[in-house]
Amino acid sequence: MGFWDWTKHFFGADKAEIYVTAKAIEDKKNRLSIEKFGIVMAINFIANAISKCEFKTFLDGKEVKGDEYYLWNIEPNINESSTQFIQKLIRQLLFYGEALVIEINGQLLVADSFNQVEYAIKENYFTNVSVKTMNFNKQFNMSDVMYFKLDDTNVRALLAELIDQYEDLTAMAEGKYKRAQGRKGIAKINAGGKGDKDFQKKIDDLFNNQFKKYFEAENAVVHLPKGVEYEEQQDASVKKSTSEIADIKSITAEAFDRIAQAFRIPPSLLRGDIADIGELTNNFLSFCIDPITTIIGEEITRKRYGKRDFLNGSYIKIDTTNIKHVDIFSISQAFDKLIACGGYSIDDLRIKAGDTPLDTDWSQKHWMTKNYLGIDEQANQIEGSGENGEGNETDISNQTG
């Protein structure tokens, strides 16, 4: 998308007429640089994370891998892999607040643009649906598509107003830096030559051309006409300064933090800080990723399965645990506990760790150590050990098989 199209979408001006000058367009390009860069970074961050998720499909309460699983996890259409498809879907959803997926001949496609006609109790429908170079001259009913929508809060409009203030501060810091690092000097001109047209022409050429080249060049010499003296100013007030660069960096970082918060991303995670990365990732999954995947999972389930199948245990679930990198050596004790309590089979945990399942009878079974007994069985053992009035105060949690 070009800058002008992006600007119209950003400010909701798809149907409005905008009159601006060429200078205003150039100024807006510069002012949107921080905002657009930060938003694109945040959206890509989320899209890349969700594209790592596994779309698990269930039929009658059992997890299965069939055509629907292949469609969402491997190949939604002949031109895109599932990763490319999901990334495009998330970008459309986060950038415009809504996204439309249509099915054509068994292929899932994310629409680039569309118009929606909304009703209160009647079924909505979509027109002018386009995907890349193809325009579909037909009406798509709401029940025939998957329509994803975030809340009605226009995050981009709020960010535009907020970031505008940061960009003003950035522009001031940039101007201050340019002034601080610029070269300055004093030119003394002999007043006796003011009436001489040839002298005046030389002066004009000196200030309009030669001095400009002199200051822009790394190494240069300038010829001063007779009657002109130039003295470079070297006092501390005009020396190059790094404090202004620090100001620009600080303001830009502050703007990025606000963008991260708008998309519910921990700011330090978007900046790439590694301190407390585990806790930051958990917050990212809980407050940013989970709400988005819930919206997507619910819409897919209600459109691809329906009420009857859902009540019978058929649905799609987006597994976000694949987003986190798993170090099997750091979680070996946790794996042992999960197997020992019968919560997961060995193959279950191998899949979670990114390894291949063994697909054997024993690796698919659920195991439990003898330390785990039922409450009734534990109570019977305690009663048996207290026949002589002893052992009645034994903690039940200390009993073993």
Q: What pLDDT is recorded for position 149?
A: 94
CB 43 within 8 A of CB 262: no
Length of the chain: 401
Q: In which element (H, E) is residue 283 found?
A: helix 277-284
The model's confidence at residue 278, banded by pLDDT at 50, 70 and 90, is confident
Predicted local confidence at residue 175, as pLDDT: 59
Please give the full DSSP string across 167-207, using - where no structure is assigned: HHHHHHHHHHHHHHHS--EEEEE-GGGTT-HHHHHHHHHII
Task: Give 225 or 27, the one with higher predicted confidence.
Answer: 225
pLDDT band of residue 346 (cuts 50, 70, 90) is confident
Burial of 83 (0-12, 13-18, 19+ CB in 10 A): middle
Is 349 or 140 the better-scoring residue by pLDDT?
140
CB atoms within 10 A of CB 172: 14
Of the listed ranges 14-28, 87-101, 256-270, 325-339, the one predicted with least confidence: 14-28
Cβ atoms within 10 Å, residue 305: 20
Q: Give the pLDDT score at 332.
A: 77
Compute the distance between CA of residue 317 and CA of residue 307 in angstroms, rounded to an integer: 15
Tell me the per-residue pLDDT of 27-43, one tens digit each, with 9 for 90 and over.
444 444 677 788 889 99
Angle, helices 22-50/243-262, rounded to nearest 10 degrees: 60
Specify whether the CB–CB gap between 135 and 114 falls below 8 A.
no
Give the residue-averaged pLDDT of 16-37.
51
Binned at pLDDT 50, 70 and 90, residue 314 comes out as: very high
- pLDDT for 179 equals 56
Burial profile 227-243: b = 16 or more Cβ within 10 angstroms, e = fewer: bbeeeeeeeeebeebee
Lowest mean pLDDT among 58-62, 124-128, 278-282, 316-320: 278-282
Token duo for residue 343: 């919560």
DSSP code for 285: I
Query: What's the pLDDT at 398?
Result: 43
**Tell me: the pLDDT tens digits for 123-149?**
999 999 999 999 999 999 999 999 999
d(CA 395, CA 290): 40
Mean pLDDT, the chain, whole residue set: 77
Confidence of residue 19 (pLDDT cuts 50, 70, 90): very low
Question: 198 pLDDT band (50/70/90 cuts)?
Answer: confident
CA–CA gap between residue 108 and residue 145 (Å, rounded): 10
Using alpha carbons, list the distances in angstroms from residue 83 to 51, 53, 71: 5, 9, 11
The Cα 354–Cα 357 span in angstroms is 9
Residue 96's pLDDT is what?
A: 87
Give the Cα separation of 121 and 142 in Å (integer): 12
Cα dist. 375→155, 225, 261, 389 in Å? 53, 105, 47, 21
Count Cβ atoms within 10 A of the Cβ of residue 45 and give its class: 0-12 exposed, 13-18 middle, 19 or more buried.
Answer: middle
**Residue written as token pair 């001031």:** 172
- Please name every residue paired with 232 in a beta bridge, in sequence order, or none if there are none: 185
